[in-house]
Amino acid sequence: MGAQLRVYKRRIRSVTATKKITKAMEMIAASRVVKAQRKVAASTPYAQELTRAVTAVGTGSNTKHPLTTEAENPTRAAVLLLTSDRGLAGAFNANAIKAAEQLTERLEREGKQVDTYIVGRRGVAHYNFRERKITESWTGFTDEPSYADAKKVAAPLIEAIEKDTADGGVDELHIVYTEFVSMMTQTAVDSRLLPLRLDEVAEQTQKKDEILPLYDFEPSAEDVLDALLPRYVESRIYNALLQSAASKHAATRRAMKSATDNAGELIETLTRLANQARQAEITQEISEIVGGASALADATAGSDY
């Protein structure tokens, strides 16, 4: 009994230490997600307005440009997958990776060769473990991405979209990231960044009862689109990085809260078992004392005779 009680106490100490760690991680994630939410709210209007401006320029001109013009027979596509550098976030990374794999399968069924670009150690590790080719990867900034990080990620993608497919370029650029909906809901989504779907953006604008502005191009619409291309890609990637960071922190907070609650329940169960073991030990000691006293009394009574 004594050995069993020591085992319970040791497990209670271990689970209590784990509970303190998960509680601290929950509080850290809760503070970070608030900051990430503010950054998302600040960057989203800029990305939306820039997309709206590109749509207006593309709709108001007949210029063929990789930003707005689809290839007649697209044969190659780039997929940018955004994951995190760290785990302990529930199914956050698994859902993003699954969405990227489904997108890749769909593009390959359409007869397109897919070049994969990955942000985050978790995504890189997943693809390396399965010996899948990664065109380029970036790590180390997923918790707090900056616009400089977005520019670093966007540079090779812009270069690839501007090249001909015969020279190693791509016809399409897709991005897979986790959209921050609320503290309880984060959704893995895939979106085609280039070429921009003008019809879809125009339809969304009409639903909001907005009117696309009219522009005069100086010196030409092509030069304007050339100037907007890097800004558009960088802003969309930056917003996706912020959305992914906020989603990761929210997922971590939820996972750590669940772990803390489970640890509390386990401590209660172990405490109850330890109490039962201690009571059984006390009962056994009392029985031994009573039995010994009874045997001693019987022996004393026998000697009197």
- Tens of pLDDT, residues 252-275: 999 999 999 999 999 999 889 888
Q: Residue 264 falls within a domain, yes or no? A: no
Question: What is the sign, positive or negative, of the torsion defined by CA atoms of 33, 26, 178, 210?
Answer: negative
Q: Residue 293 falls within a domain, yes or no? A: no
Q: Distance between CA atoms of 205 and 222, rounded to whole angstroms?
A: 23
Q: Distance between CA atoms of 220 and 215, rounded to whole angstroms?
A: 11
pLDDT-based confidence at 286, cuts 50/70/90? confident
Residue 285, number of CB atoms within 10 A of its CB? 11
pLDDT surpasses 60 at 1:
no
Length of the chain: 305
Q: What is the mean pLDDT of residues 199-214?
A: 57
Q: Which range in 162-166, 206-210, 245-249 is most confidently predicted, on average pLDDT?
A: 245-249
Q: Distance between CA atoms of 231 and 234, rounded to whole angstroms?
A: 5
User: Closest Cα to residue 79, out of 112, 127, 132, 117?
Assistant: 117
pLDDT-based confidence at 84, cuts 50/70/90? very high
Tokens 């010996």 -> residue: 131
CATH number of the structural domain spanning residue 229: 3.40.1380.10
User: Closest Cα to residue 245, out of 6, 34, 5?
Assistant: 34
| Residue 212 pLDDT | 58
Q: Residue 111 falls within a domain, yes or no? A: yes
pLDDT surpasses 60 at 305:
no
pLDDT, one tens digit per residue, over 103-131 is 999 999 998 999 999 999 999 999 999 99
What's CA 223's distance to the chain center, in Å?
37
pLDDT surpasses 70 at 226:
yes
pLDDT surpasses 70 at 303:
no
Q: Please provide the DSSP assignment of 131-160 as one string.
A: T---SEEE-S-SSS--HHHHHHHHHHHHHH
For 42-48, the CB contacts below 8 A with 24+ separation are: 43/235, 43/238, 43/239, 43/242, 44/239, 46/235, 46/239, 47/235, 47/236, 47/238, 47/239
Residue 267 CB burial class (10 angstroms; 0-12, 13-18, ≥19): middle
Question: DSSP 3-state assignment of 177?
Answer: strand
pLDDT surpasses 60 at 228:
yes
Q: Residue 277 falls within a domain, yes or no? A: no
Q: Which residues of 208-232 are buried (b: 16+ CB within 10 A; e: fewer)?
A: eeeebeeeeeeeebeebbeebbbeb
Q: Residue 303 falls within a domain, yes or no? A: no
Q: Distance between CA atoms of 230 and 165, rounded to whole angstroms?
A: 19
Element (H, E) at 115: strand 113-119
Q: Residue 4 falls within a domain, yes or no? A: no
Q: What is the mean pLDDT of residues 198-224?
A: 62
User: Closest Cα to residue 241, out of 109, 131, 149?
Assistant: 149
Least confident range of 1-10, 140-149, 237-246? 1-10
Tokens 């000697």 -> residue: 303
Full residue range of the structural domain in which residue 200 is found: 26-256
Q: What is the mean pLDDT of residues 66-90?
A: 84
Token couple for 188: 């893995």
pLDDT surpasses 60 at 207:
no
| Residue 129 pLDDT | 93
Token couple for 280: 């059984």
What's CA 182's distance to the chain center, in Å?
13
Q: Residue 214 falls within a domain, yes or no? A: yes
Look at the chain and report how many structural domains it folds into.
1
Q: Residue 297 falls within a domain, yes or no? A: no
| Residue 177 pLDDT | 95
